[in-house]
Structure 1
Amino acid sequence: MTQIEILPDVSAREIDVSSKLDALAAQYKGASGLGIKVLGLLGLPVSGLISSLPKEVQNGLGSGTGMALTQAVKLADGSRGVLKDQPDWVNASLTAALGAAGGFGGVTSALAELPVTITVLLRAIQAVSVQHGFDPSQESVRFDCLQVLAANGPFTADKGADLSMLEQRAGLAMGGAGWIKAVIVPRLAPVLGQKLAAQAVPVIGAAMGAATNYAYTSYYQDIAHVHFGLRKLAIDADVPSDELVAGMLKRLEGSKSDA
């Protein structure tokens, strides 16, 4: 069982909220950097990847993502008592190996690899929640882990677009299965479509599978650190989470205007 370090109580006045928000905003802003560099180095465009997939695969992305995610949730939750959480770099390396295997056989093997990779991604996100002092067996934290998967993915330059969405708690009111189908799947399906398209590239599919999986895992771990970092800061500093999100968005907008 993972041991969580119990930190001494810190009063709100001892917490430099502004500095912590600066650090979280920087981590959020840089989360997509690796993914975009990966595609650039391998000579593939960021946009238009999904259109290269066979039509039947494009049409089945939603249902396939739903089935893969449902299976991944069961496997991730069930494995926590058997396999201990791994460091971030181990998770990224593991998904890279899975991506290489999935890309070796093109779309067919990539589709077979998808549920396993999503399971590892979810376990990696759960591990981040533990690092911030949260228990992924609690229902609210389980929803938070799934919300991280609703981020836009590593191959988007639209910073801040989904930060407020990550702080919503609609899933608790709607119910798990309905929320996954209505909210998570529509956002995750096109992101996974990009991954499948990269793995289907002839000759270099295995290399692309390894590279994109590594980028995806690094990205979602960064987003998880931001998400749970905000939750922890809200508790420690006794500041409403919506105020912290507003502060993050202001910093992200400020970084755009400075660019």
Structure 2
Amino acid sequence: MSLPTVSVDAEIAALAKRYKAANSVGMQVLNLIGGQAENLLERLPDRVKDQLEGATARALEVAMRAAQGSRGVVPDQKGWLNTALATAMGAAGGAGGLPSALAELPVTTTVLLRSIQGIAAEHGYDPEDPEIAKECLTVFASAGPLAQDDGADLGFLSARVTLTGATVHGVINRIAPRLATVMGQKLATQTVPLLGAAAGAATNYAYTSYYQQMAHVHFGLRTLARQSGRPRGELVEALRVAVTRPKVKIG
């Protein structure tokens, strides 16, 4: 039995609230470091920028193997614990400047991916299923917590349509260029003079909070499509409208 329209609208409103919350947390980081997201990458050395895409792809490969391999050993953790762990790692990575931040990148990526897998399981999906594994990766195709898009980029929610038949490795190669920009912004914040540890902690807090919220949006929308019987594309458009709808001022 499909969900009534009122229930669908309520679910869309709840998902829109999560989406907006995901994007707002990144502004705390920008306020801390006193910079604009589009200018952060200029702080990185050219040699790092040139190698960032490859490093990101390798980090995703390592994260996928480590995250899936750990599922039978370490149970899924609460969202706040994943956030706390990543925040501590960000502080440690930022304390040593760029070298330690680069070393921390694959570890943080693993924690992020594992938390996304845990949310997929929370919504009733099996992260070991190849299709769900690919959908977990597509969460990384969203804009990132430092992007000021306010709903302009919801394309990652429809990405599953274009990933049919693709291998996990193929999905990683498609996502890596986008995620490289996002992770480059993260690395840049961790190199801010005198703020390395604090910026690293704040950035990882923002990133973990962001991707966990986006995972809830992603898999919540998938579940809503199944339960309501409505096309996923139609629900994505409804979410886009809900996210971009201007706030009505009273008085």
Aligned-residue offset at 1:42: 4.2
CA distance in 1, matches of 2:170, 2:128: 20
Q: Are residue 127 (structure 1) and residue 118 (structure 2) matched? A: yes
CA contact (8 A) 2:142 2:155 kept: no
Secondary structure of the residue that 1:17 maps to in structure 2? Answer: helix
What's 2:42 paired with? 51
> What's the Cα RMSD here?
1.8
The question of whether the paired residues in 2 share the 8 Å contact of 1:148 and 1:227 is answered with yes
Q: How far apart are residue 174 of structure 1 and its match?
A: 2.8
CA–CA separation in structure 2 for the residues paired with 1:175 and 1:49: 32
User: What CA deviation, in whole Å up to 9, does each residue of 1:148-193 have, x standing for no partner?
Assistant: 0111100111133332332222223232212311x20011000000
| Structure 1 position 82 matched with structure 2 position 73 | yes
Q: 2:166 maps to what in 1?
A: 174
Amino acid at match of 1:17: V
Give the fraction of aligned pairs with identical amino acids, expressed as a percent: 49
Corresponding residue of 1:216: 207
Counterpart of 1:52 in structure 2: which amino acid? Answer: R
Matched to 2:165, the amino acid is A
Taking structure 1 as the reference length, what is the TM-score of the superposition? 0.90
Q: Which one-letter code corresponds to 2:171 in the other structure?
A: W
Distance 1:136 1:15 in 2: 31
Deviations 1:4-37, CA, capped at 9 Å, x for gaps: xxxxxx6523871011101111211221111112
Superposed, 1:1-259 pairs within 5 Å as 11-13=2-4, 16-169=7-160, 170-181=162-173, 183-255=174-246
CA, structure 1 residues 46+164, in 2 after alignment: closer, same or farther (shift >3 Å)? closer
- Report how many residues are paired: 248
CA displacement, residues 61-119 of structure 1 (integer Å, 9 cap, x when unaligned): 11111111111111001110011000111001100011111111111010001000000
| TM-score, scaled to structure 2 | 0.93
| Alignment match, 1:7 | none
1:49 match: secondary structure: helix
Q: Deviations over 1:24-58 (max 9, x none)?
A: 11211221111112321443433311101111001
Q: Give the Cα separation in 1 of the matches to 2:195 and 2:151.
A: 32
Task: Work out whether residues 133 and 168 of structure 2, in 8 Å CA contact, stay in contact via their aligned partners in 1.
Answer: no
